[in-house]
Amino acid sequence: MERIEEKLKILADAAKYDVSCSSSGSKRQNKGGIGDASASGICHTYTEDGRCVSLLKILLTNHCIYDCAFCVSRNSNDVKRAAFTVEEVVALTMNFYRRNYIEGLFLSSGIFKDADFTMERLLRIVKKLRLEERYNGYIHLKTIPGASEELIKEAGLYADRMSINLELPTEAGLKLVAPEKDHDSVRKPLAFVNNTIKAFQSERAIIRHTPVFVPAGQSTQMVIGATPETDFEIMSVADEFYRNYNLKRVYYSGYVPVNGNSPLLPEIGTRPPLVRENRLYQTDWLLRFYDFRLDEILNPKFSQLDLDIDPKLGWALRNPAFFPVDVNTADYKAIIRIPGIGRQSALKIIKARAFGQLREYQLKRLGIAFNKARYFMRCSDTPFRLGELNMAQLKSQIVKTSHTKYKSLSLEGQLTLFS
Amino acid sequence: MTVYVYDGTYYGFLNCIFECFEMKEWHALPVSESLHQSSFFDSERIIVTDAARAERVLNGLQQRIGKSRTSDFFRVFLSEDPKALTAAFRLLVALFRGNASILENYGDGDVLYVAQTLKKVSRERHRMKAFVRFSKSSDGLFFAFVEPDFNVLPLITSFFARRYADQNWLIYDVKRNYGIYYDKITVEEVQLDINARKQFGTAQVSIALDERDVHFEQLWKQYFKSTNIVERRNIKLHMQHVPKRYWKYLVEKQP
């Protein structure tokens, strides 16, 4: 029994750099067994680093034949190795799930022996959960690059989400730190699963009880700050993957140095680029939900995001001609481009203005970031403004008056010696 | 002003609407008897709860604004916030007097307050789905104690019944002294008597625990520790997502 605690310690520790925590997007229902994967997902707790815990995120084993410089489990590292048995993973998952600790299982693995051998083990676990334990909770399963299509296809019948990590945003970066890997071995299985999802969907349109196949879709992850890609390069890759493989999510994981003595990577003790990571996620959201095109936010001329302001505000400051937007007449797409107004507030504004012209005091109460939005919008009682705003001045004013949660963190990731 | 004193139930609240229209007292307001204090200036009337009348109000409401928005009013009621209840009451009166679209007027103070309360209740409901931690007793009952900010057990009943369909479970609201119990067939409201409660409260072992329960609690704590990335430590964010008042019943936050 103590041995399983040690295994859990090693294999949870090795899995934690995979940031995907989503438990949403599935629609698996409970039919006489236990559990369901509800559409909205639930975060059952949060670790002290502020990240959500919704899944039991573990590696089957941290034995690995590869030697990727950025990975804590690379085979040249002198770390404790462990491997769960199939029964152990099933028992942990079921007992945690029954106590409402988790939404489900996130199962990944180091590559031992070869891809098929590893994939086959993962498949055995998810099958046992679904068929023997009659478990209908969420399962996020790693697709092992290089595994045979038959195995991947079978696994997809039991998993809710599958993912393969790009690891480094560009092929060149990957070659540098993980010469045994390439992006093609990620693209191929992503494309295969995506095509299979589509095939199952069109089959379901004709035959209703077609089984579900990866109902919560696919995701991937890129490590940020390990190699010198620009934000533009990173987001271009993300944008392309969203379009070509219908990914549900691209995760950006600020690199936490785990291995010493690599001349290629940041040293141990370097702070992970948390602010940059956050700005990339904000950009990701603007692309997916706010109808921005990538070239509006990042392009070859403007290839790094501002760290001190969010990308929507940055775009607004570069495009003064778009503003002010009149909240009483503008359409939804224009209103969500106002910095400080989100989609929910925009919907409320549209509904509320049917009852009469909206004034500033009403906007303030709606829950928007008024301090930011005020410079970019017009309400019915906003005084008329002559000429254009001085955007440089405006930026410093907004930065000064807003309470950013990052004030305590040095924006450059580097502490100053004298301050 | 007229004050309607009702019994504190949702049906009682709806009866106040009925009364208001029967008597054409457009400015009357409901007060739960547990919160009521007589005032020299107000005239007051005790409202007797009549289920048939309450259902008539519910039916009328459903016809005007649909099922889901009708249930929103029940959710707001569960907030137990007198200000929200007053605002909801005024909106209901306006709705029945013909202003069917009022709920979308977010420029209006009452509408906004009700919407915000609804959001708070929904958040608490979601938290209870997340923060319930079952312990397993020796006879196979999975039980959990909670102290939610709002009275949200009625809103999570079907969720837990669907998810944990093959195990007996009990979720008990210690603050409001009632719980929901599921016996693999239906969910019932239960109340523990005071003596049993004392036993629960002082020493949880008085429900004999399944022998492996402590073991899995220990494993969960270990997992919680191992999955944390120390280099990214962000206690403020942690506290924002898991406010301290919930720690009492969270296994992973116990020493």
Which of B70, B93, B124 corresponds to the end of one domain? B124
In this structure, the answer to whether residues B177 and B117 fall within a common structural domain is: no
The pTM for the full model equals 0.91
Q: What is the mean pLDDT of chain A?
A: 91
- Distance in angstroms (rounded) separating the CA atoms of residues A8 and B225: 10
CB contact under 8 A, B236 and A405: yes
Instruction: Indicate whether A302 pLDDT > 90.
Output: yes
Q: Residue-wise over A96-110: b if at least 16 C-beta within 10 A, else e?
A: bbbbbbbbbbbbbbb
* Residue-range domain boundaries for chain A: 2-297, 311-401
Q: Enumerate residues 65 to 94 of chain B having a beta carbon within 8 A of any beta carbon in chain A.
A: none
Q: Which of B142, B231, B246 to mutate to test the interface with A (most CBs of A within 10 A)?
A: B231
**pLDDT tens readout for residues A58-116:** 999 999 999 988 899 999 999 999 999 999 999 999 999 999 999 999 999 999 889 99
In this structure, the answer to whether residues B31 and B78 fall within a common structural domain is: yes
Which of B90, B124, B158 corresponds to the end of one domain? B124
Instruction: Indicate whether A13 pLDDT > 80.
Output: yes
pLDDT given for residue A415 in this prediction: 46
Q: What is the mean pLDDT of residues B221-247?
A: 94
**pLDDT tens readout for residues A329-341:** 999 999 999 999 9
Q: How many residues belong to chain A? A: 419
Range of weakest confidence among A334-343, A380-389, B195-204: B195-204
Upper half-sphere CA count for residue A100 (Cβ side, 13 Å): 28
Assess contact for B198 and B174: CB atoms under 8 A. Answer: no
Instruction: Please give the interface size between A and B, counted as residue pairs whose CB atoms are below 8 Å apart.
Output: 160
Most confident range (mean pLDDT) of A14-28, A31-45, A228-242, B191-205 is A228-242
**pLDDT tens readout for residues A260-271:** 777 778 888 888
Q: Which residue has the tokens 């048995």?
A: A85
Q: What is the mean pLDDT of residues A201-211?
A: 89
Instruction: Indicate whether B115 pLDDT > 90.
Output: yes
CB contact under 8 A, A101 and B234: no
Number of domains in chain B: 2
pLDDT given for residue A386 in this prediction: 64
**pLDDT tens readout for residues B30-73:** 999 988 887 777 789 999 999 999 999 999 999 999 999 999 99
Instruction: Indicate whether A414 pLDDT > 50.
Output: no
Q: Which phi and psi angles does A61 have, rounded to 5°?
A: -150, 155
Q: Which phi and psi angles does B181 have, rounded to 5°?
A: -125, 135
Q: What is the mean pLDDT of residues A204-221?
A: 91
Is the alpha carbon torsion for A228, A233, A237, A239 positive or negative? Answer: positive
Enclosing domain of residue B207: 132-253
**Torsion angle of the four alpha carbons A254, A256, A260, A265, in this order, in degrees rounded to the nearest 10:** 10
Q: Could you tell me if A360 lies within 8 Å of chain B, comparing CB atoms?
A: no
**pLDDT tens readout for residues A362-381:** 999 998 999 899 999 999 99
Model confidence at A406, in pLDDT bands (50, 70, 90)?
low
CB contact under 8 A, B133 and A101: yes
ipTM over 0.90: yes
Looking at 3.40.50.300, 3.20.20.70, 3.40.50.1370, 3.40.1350.10, the CATH number of the domain A2-297 comes to 3.20.20.70
Q: Which of B130, B164, B212 sits opposite A44 (nearest CB)?
A: B130
Q: Could you tell me if A33 lies within 8 Å of chain B, comparing CB atoms?
A: yes
Q: What is the mean pLDDT of residues B248-255?
A: 94
In this structure, the answer to whether residues B242 and B166 fall within a common structural domain is: yes
Q: Which of B155, B159, B210, B227 to mutate to test the interface with A (most CBs of A within 10 A)?
A: B227
**pLDDT tens readout for residues A336-363:** 999 999 999 999 999 999 999 999 999 9
Q: Could you tell me if A101 lies within 8 Å of chain B, comparing CB atoms?
A: yes
Q: Residue-wise over A270-283: b if at least 16 C-beta within 10 A, else e?
A: ebbbbbbbbbbebb
In this structure, the answer to whether residues B157 and B112 fall within a common structural domain is: no
Instruction: Indicate whether B76 pLDDT > 60.
Output: yes
Report residue A205 CA to chain centroid gap: 30
pLDDT given for residue A398 in this prediction: 86
In this structure, the answer to whether residues B137 and B69 fall within a common structural domain is: no
Cis (ω within 30 of 0) for the bond into A324?
yes
On chain A, the residues whose CB falls within 8 A of the CB of B231 are 256, 271-272
- Distance in angstroms (rounded) separating the CA atoms of residues A353 and A331: 12
SS3 A106: strand
In this structure, the answer to whether residues B145 and B118 fall within a common structural domain is: no
Q: What is the mean pLDDT of residues A201-220?
A: 91
Q: Which phi and psi angles does A165 have, rounded to 5°?
A: -90, 135
Q: Which of B142, B215, B226 sits opposite A98 (nearest CB)?
A: B142
**pLDDT tens readout for residues A138-172:** 999 999 999 999 999 999 999 999 999 999 999 98
Which of B124, B143, B170 corresponds to the end of one domain? B124
In this structure, the answer to whether residues B175 and B153 fall within a common structural domain is: yes
Q: Which of B165, B219, B223 sits opposite A34 (nearest CB)?
A: B165
In this structure, the answer to whether residues B85 and B171 fall within a common structural domain is: no
Q: Which residue has the tokens 């997916």?
A: A288
